[in-house]
Amino acid sequence: MEMNDMILVSVDDHLIEPGDMYDRQLSGDLLASAPKLMTMDTGQSYWTYQGMRLPVTGLNAVVGRVPEEYGMEPTSLAQMRRGCWDPRARLDDMNADGIAVQLNYPTAVAMDGSMFANAPDKDLALKHLRAYNDWHSDEWCATDPARFIPLGILPVWDMDATVAEMKRLADKGFRSVTLNDNPTKVGLPSIHNEYWVPFFHAAVDNDLVVSIHIGPGNPSPQASLETPIDAWITTMPMSVSVSIADWLNLHVLQELPDLRVNVAEGGIGWVPALIERADYVYRHHHKWTHADFGGKLPSEVFREHFMVCFITDPYGLRNVEYIGEDIVAFEVDYPHSDSPWPCSPEQLWGQIDGLSDRLLNKVTHENALNWFRFDPFTTHRKEELTVGALRARAKAAGVDTTPQSFGGARPLATGEKRRVTSGDIQKMMGIMAQAAENA
C-alpha cells in the first residue's frame, strides 16, 4: 500500500460553534434566550447563556496559524481558520488533509454538553440542548452525511429526558453520544450509581457508542504554576487512564456485552501497561476486594468494550497486538494544537513501519467504521475517499493550507525568552474569563 491509498477516518475532532447556530433551529422567545456569541470592543468573543459568560479561548482552534502564535489565541472566529466553524470549509480542510470521515465534539457548550447541565433553568436548557443536536445533525453533518459521524449531547441531569433524547437521536441517525468521563465533576452520581443504569441500557438499545473525551472529568494535574506547560501537554492524554480504570470496573459491562465506549484523545501507548496492571490487581487482590469481571480478565473486558485512538503513537502501534487490533483507531484532533493538519497522512505513514496492510486498514478506518456502525461507502466509492483522491479534490478547489499570521496576544510578553509555564496559561485564561464577565 502507498500513503495515498489509505482511507483515513478520524474519531476525534472538534467544531467551533458559529454565532448563527440557532438562527434556523429556533424562533421567538426560544431563539432570544438561546446561547449567544458576543464580541467586545477589544475583538474578544464570548458566549453568554442564562447568566453565564464563557470566553472563546486558545489552543482549541489554532490549525492554520503560524506555530509561534499558539497560545491563548484565538479569542474570536475572525482569528480562526474558516474550517473551524464552517462545515463546508471543514470539508475542504478534510480533503486537504486526506481525511474521509470525522466525528466532531462540541466546544462552546463543552465537550460533554455541560453548559446546559450548569444552567439554572433546566426546562429551557433541555429545549436549547435538543436544538443544538438538531443543528449538529441537520446543518453541520448534513453538509455531507457520509463524511460526518453525528455525535449528540444529553440532558444528563434528568435521566428520563436523557433516555428519550437518546431514542430521538438514534432515530435521526446519530451514531454516538458524549458523556463526562467522571460525572461527579458536574454534580451527578458516579458511573457506578444506579442512576446511570437506564443510560447504559439506552446506549445498547439504540446502538449508540458512548464517547468520552479527555479533560472534562479527570484532567491532567499540573505540578505547579512554575512547571513548564510542556509537562502538562505531555501528560494530558494519559490522564484519561484514571477514568478508564474506573470505567473498566463497571459492573454493567457484564450485563451489556454490546456496550461500546470510544475513548478520545488519550493515545494508546499506555494501554498495555494499564490492562496488564489491571489483570495483576485482579489476580492478586480480588479475594479481599471482591472484584468480579464475570469470569474474565480485565484485559479481556477492555478489548470487548473500549476503543482507543491515537494522533502520533509509534510505540503504541508497535504494540497493537497487546492492545487489541480491533479497537485501535486514528484521530486528527482538528483544530486543536496537537493536530498534525494538514500533514496527517505523512505523520501517520512515518509511524507504521512493520504494520501489515491488513492492520493498517484496521487502524486507519475499518475499526472506526465498525465501532460506530457507519458506512460512508453507500454514497461515496472507496477510491473517492483515499488520501490521494481527496487531496486532488482540494487542490482543484484551490484550498490554501499555508500557515497564516492572525496576530494577537501570546502567553509571554513580546520579547521574553523563557519557558511558558502553567501559571502563564492560567493567568491568561483568568484574564480572558474576567474580561467576559465584565463585558
What is the average per-residue pLDDT within 248-255? 97
- Which pLDDT score, from 0 to 100, does residue 410 have? 65
Residue 314, preceding peptide bond in cis (omega within 30° of 0): no
Model confidence pLDDT, tens digit, residues 317-337: 999 999 999 999 999 999 999
What is the average per-residue pLDDT within 251-272? 97
Q: Which helix (H) or strand (E) holds 422?
A: helix 422-438
Tell me yes or no: is domain 3-438 CATH 3.20.20.140.
Answer: yes
Whether residue 415 has pLDDT greater than 70: no
Place of cell 434566550: 33
In the three-class reduction of DSSP (H, G, I as helix; E, B as strand; rest coil), residue 184 is classed as helix
- Which pLDDT score, from 0 to 100, does residue 67 have? 86
Q: Which helix (H) or strand (E) holds 317?
A: helix 314-318
pLDDT confidence tier of residue 209, bands split at 50, 70 and 90: very high
d(CA 195, CA 185): 15
Number of Cβ within 10 Å of residue 143's Cβ equals 14
Domain locations along the chain: 3-438
Q: What pairs with residue 36 in β-bridges?
A: 48
In the three-class reduction of DSSP (H, G, I as helix; E, B as strand; rest coil), residue 228 is classed as strand
Model confidence pLDDT, tens digit, residues 342-398: 999 999 999 998 899 999 999 999 999 999 999 999 999 999 999 999 999 999 999
d(CA 435, CA 439): 6
- Which pLDDT score, from 0 to 100, does residue 332 have? 98
Taking the model in full, what pTM does it have? 0.96
Model confidence pLDDT, tens digit, residues 268-291: 999 999 999 999 999 999 999 999
d(CA 259, CA 114): 23
| Residue 94 neighbours by CB under 8 Å, 6+ apart | 83, 100, 102, 147, 334, 390
- Which pLDDT score, from 0 to 100, does residue 59 have? 67
| Percentage above 90 pLDDT, the chain | 81
Whether residue 409 has pLDDT greater than 60: no
- Which pLDDT score, from 0 to 100, does residue 73 have? 67
- Which pLDDT score, from 0 to 100, does residue 214 have? 93
Q: What pairs with residue 328 in β-bridges?
A: 308
Q: Which helix (H) or strand (E) holds 391?
A: helix 387-396
What is the average per-residue pLDDT within 424-428? 81
- Which pLDDT score, from 0 to 100, does residue 418 have? 84
Average pLDDT, the chain: 94
| Percentage above 70 pLDDT, the chain | 97
- Which pLDDT score, from 0 to 100, does residue 75 have? 81
Q: How far is CA 116 from the centre of its chain?
A: 18
- Which pLDDT score, from 0 to 100, does residue 368 have? 98
Model confidence pLDDT, tens digit, residues 49-63: 999 998 886 667 899
- Which pLDDT score, from 0 to 100, does residue 58 have? 64
Per DSSP, the residues of 82-144 read GGGT-HHHHHHHHHHTTEEEEEEE-STT-TT-HHHHT-S-HHHHHHHHHHHHHHIIIIIGGGS
Number of Cβ within 10 Å of residue 292's Cβ equals 12
Whether residue 193 has pLDDT greater than 90: yes
Phi, psi for 29 (deg, rounded to 5) = -65, -35
d(CA 174, CA 167): 10
**Which CB contacts under 8 angstroms, 24+ apart, belong to 428-432?**
428/58, 428/71, 428/72, 429/55, 429/57, 429/58, 429/72, 432/44, 432/55, 432/57, 432/72, 432/75
- Which pLDDT score, from 0 to 100, does residue 438 have? 78
In the three-class reduction of DSSP (H, G, I as helix; E, B as strand; rest coil), residue 404 is classed as strand
Helices in 227-270 by DSSP H: which ranges?
229-235, 240-248, 252-255
What is the average per-residue pLDDT within 81-99? 97
Indicate the range of 39-43, 229-233, 295-299 predicted with least confidence: 39-43
d(CA 359, CA 304): 18
Nearest C-alpha neighbor of 386 from the set 103, 83, 9, 93: 9
Whether residue 408 has pLDDT greater than 80: no
Whether residue 439 has pLDDT greater than 80: no
- Which pLDDT score, from 0 to 100, does residue 426 have? 82
- Which pLDDT score, from 0 to 100, does residue 16 have? 95
d(CA 361, CA 126): 40
- Which pLDDT score, from 0 to 100, does residue 27 have? 98
